[in-house]
Amino acid sequence: MADKSNDPVAIWQNMIGEMEKGFNAFANQAMTSPEFSRAVNQVGGVTAGAQKQLGDLMEKYLVSMNLPSQSQMVGMAERLQSIEGQLNEIKALLHQVHSKSGASDGANPAPPRPPRTKRPPARGGEPK
Amino acid sequence: MNAAAGLDLLSIPDRIQSEVQRAIQRSIKGVEYISSSGPALGSTPKDILHVRGTMNLYHYRPMADEIYRVPILIVMATTNRGYILDMVPGQSFIEFLLKHGYDVYMLDWTAPGPEEKSLRMEDYVLDFIPDCIRRVQQDSGETDVTVIGYCFGGVLSLLYGSIFADGPMKNLICFTTPIDFREMKLFQNFSDRRYFDVDRLVDSVGNVPPEMILSSFEMLRPASRTASQVQLWENIWNDEYVKSYRMFDRWATDTLPLAGEYFRAITKDLMWDNKLFNDTMSVGGHAADIARIKVPILHAVAEHDHIVPYDAARHLITKVGSTDKEEVMLKGGHVSLVAGANAIKRLWPRLDSWLGGRST
């Protein structure tokens, strides 16, 4: 049998694994420094600020073009969500009434629920 | 054999032939990989019991002739999709539970919309979870419910359990759940209060974008994505490897945005003030001291978890008020603890043997 220490594929795989570990450890060490946190958050802060300014500008532009802005769409989504919630409540109520009446809904009825009588297996593998 | 070099010279032609065949297979399978989609995930039959904005409550159809009395509600982490627990048949935690006679419900999340940026911690802990518990009780006809929380779903479950300490939670199982956020060293540094202006971020973007969540996870192991792609290329001839890679890669990159106010509370209360660990946490004016939790609890942690290091999770069991409590440390990482081959042979049977006797 070939020795793994001479198997070029095994050597390559081992090398990739070691490089990954080494780089991750090095990067993790670098990322624990306060300088890293400051730099990352400065970049993140600038990006977030720019995004907000662009959003505000776009909102004004859309209003002037007589197009719905994001806040208007969000308002619409909230109303839709509320309608969806009410529909779900109605659906749940209908489902309850339906199951109480014992009727079948035809297309894809849920199978009857099994009894809740299961006991855990005893140590020998048989139920207690 | 050349003993000195440890090299079997006779095996070299076979080895070359095998490598050439693999190289050909790589080219063929590489094209297939690009042109095809991955396996269908999360396909265990289920009914949607309730949907409300970001919240989805599923009930999985039982697979056993007889089930345990106490139903299970799984609370998924708010950053990721629940199908990590329901990959494909044979590798699905949900399917495992169903086949072992459990009645399973899942509280899963979809991306919160812009209109949900104002969702707060109290919406999750005092509204979504109790609402799902009520619906599980109503649907199952049982008062008792076992709650299983994965990662931050575990934190939400702990908060819920500490506020609703008088029931109806009967058992609590947490997977890789942090409570000492000082020990999440890199996340601590990323959110250093001297440099990270969470108010500015949330006020600017509303919901925290999934790309930001994903990059903060990937920064914990910055070389791993490249290394895994190299490994994928080496193993692309191996269908099982590719299938597994695609499942986990799809899930790992399918990150959810976080509601802005909720993220603000996580940053300030947990990352900065470490309130859960310091017993000063409150949600919507309710004290959330985990010492109030008295139900049987199992906490499963992973030996090589790079997202929730053991030091961040280890105090959970000592701090809860339960007398019936157990921590199990298993080999694996944050994800392989709960899904994949490692979980099939380690966590799942362990959980079944713990929970079965407490589910009657």
Q: Are residues A72 and A60 in the same domain?
A: no
In a domain, A128, yes or no: no
Q: Does residue A8 register a pLDDT over 80?
A: no
Q: Are residues A84 and A49 in the same domain?
A: no
- What type of residue is A87? L
Three-point CA angle B317, A125, B350, nearest 5°: 25
* Chain A residues in contact with B200 (beta carbon < 8 A): 45, 48-49
In a domain, A126, yes or no: no
Q: How far apart (Å, rounded) are the C-alpha atoms in residues B61 and B44?
A: 8
User: Residue A127's pLDDT band (boundaries 50, 70, 90)?
Assistant: very low
Q: Are residues A60 and A11 in the same domain?
A: yes
Q: Are residues A51 and A12 in the same domain?
A: yes
Average pLDDT (B237-265) is: 87
Q: Decide if B304 touches A, using CB distance below 8 A.
A: no
In a domain, A122, yes or no: no
Q: How would you class A43 by CB atoms within 10 Å of its CB: exposed for 0-12, middle for 13-18, buried for 19 or more?
A: exposed
Q: Decide if B344 touches A, using CB distance below 8 A.
A: no
Higher local confidence (pLDDT), B212 or A110: B212
Higher local confidence (pLDDT), B310 or A77: B310
Average pLDDT (B305-322) is: 93
pLDDT of residue A97: 79
Q: Are residues A44 and A85 in the same domain?
A: no
Residue of A88, A119, A120 with shortest CB distance to B51: A88
Per the structure, the count of domains in chain A is 2
Q: Of the segments A66-70, B228-232, B311-315, which one has the largest average pLDDT value?
A: B311-315
Which residue's structure tokens are 């942690």? B301
Q: How far apart (Å, rounded) are the C-alpha atoms in residues A29 and A42?
A: 20
User: Residue B1's pLDDT band (boundaries 50, 70, 90)?
Assistant: very low
In a domain, A124, yes or no: no
* Chain B residues in contact with A36 (beta carbon < 8 A): 189
Q: Can you tell me the ipTM of this complex?
A: 0.72
Give residues with Cβ within 8 angstroms of B268, minimum separation 6. Answer: B198
Taking the model in full, what pTM does it have? Answer: 0.80
Q: Are residues A22 and A47 in the same domain?
A: yes
Q: Are residues A56 and A77 in the same domain?
A: no
pLDDT of residue A3: 59
| Containing structural domain, residue A89 | 68-99
Q: Are residues A54 and A11 in the same domain?
A: yes
Helix B239-253 with B12-35: angle, nearest 10 deg: 40
Residue of B6, B115, B360 with shortest CB distance to A119: B360
Which residue's structure tokens are 């979504």? B128
Residue of A17, A51, A116 with shortest CB distance to B204: A51
In a domain, A114, yes or no: no
Q: Are residues A55 and A91 in the same domain?
A: no
Q: Please name which of B157, B191, B186, B207 lies closest in space to residue B320, comparing C-alpha atoms.
A: B157
In a domain, A105, yes or no: no
pLDDT of residue B25: 74
Q: Please name which of B69, B70, B45, B39 lies closest in space to residue B59, comparing C-alpha atoms.
A: B45
Beta carbons of B204 and A48 less than 8 Å apart: yes
- Burial code (b: 16+ CB inside 10 Å, e: under 16) for B58-95 equals bbbebbeeebbbbbbbbbbbbbbbbbbbbbbeebbbbb
Min Cα–Cα distance to chain B from A31, Å: 7
pLDDT of residue A81: 72
Min Cα–Cα distance to chain B from A2, Å: 5
Average pLDDT (B225-253) is: 82
Higher local confidence (pLDDT), A113 or B273: B273
Beta carbons of B69 and A32 less than 8 Å apart: no
Q: Are residues A83 and A34 in the same domain?
A: no
pLDDT tens by residue, B72-102? 999 999 999 888 899 888 889 999 999 999 9
Q: What is the DSSP letter of B250?
A: H
Beta carbons of A28 and B113 less than 8 Å apart: no
In a domain, A113, yes or no: no
* Chain B residues in contact with A120 (beta carbon < 8 A): 68, 356-357, 359-360
Identify whether the C-beta of residue B78 lies closer than 8 Å to the C-beta of residue B15.
no
Residue where a domain stops, chosen among A65, A81, A112: A65
Q: Does residue B13 register a pLDDT over 80?
A: no
Give the mean pLDDT of chain B.
89
Min Cα–Cα distance to chain B from A15, Å: 11
Q: Of the segments A45-54, B5-14, B225-234, which one has the largest average pLDDT value?
A: B225-234
pLDDT of residue B275: 96
Beta carbons of B197 and A74 less than 8 Å apart: no
Q: Are residues A16 and A42 in the same domain?
A: yes
In a domain, A53, yes or no: yes
**B141 backbone φψ class: left, alpha, beta (φ>0; ψ -120 to 50):** left
**A113 backbone φψ class: left, alpha, beta (φ>0; ψ -120 to 50):** beta
Q: Are strands B104-109 and B55-60 parallel, antiparallel or unpaired?
A: antiparallel
Q: Decide if B61 touches A, using CB distance below 8 A.
A: yes
Query: Mind listing the domains of chain B with CATH numbers?
Result: 46-358 (3.40.50.1820)
Q: Please name which of B264, B258, B122, B262 lies closest in space to residue B199, comparing C-alpha atoms.
A: B264
SS3 B8: coil
Q: Decide if B193 touches A, using CB distance below 8 A.
A: no
Q: Are residues A27 and A74 in the same domain?
A: no
Beta carbons of B69 and A117 less than 8 Å apart: yes
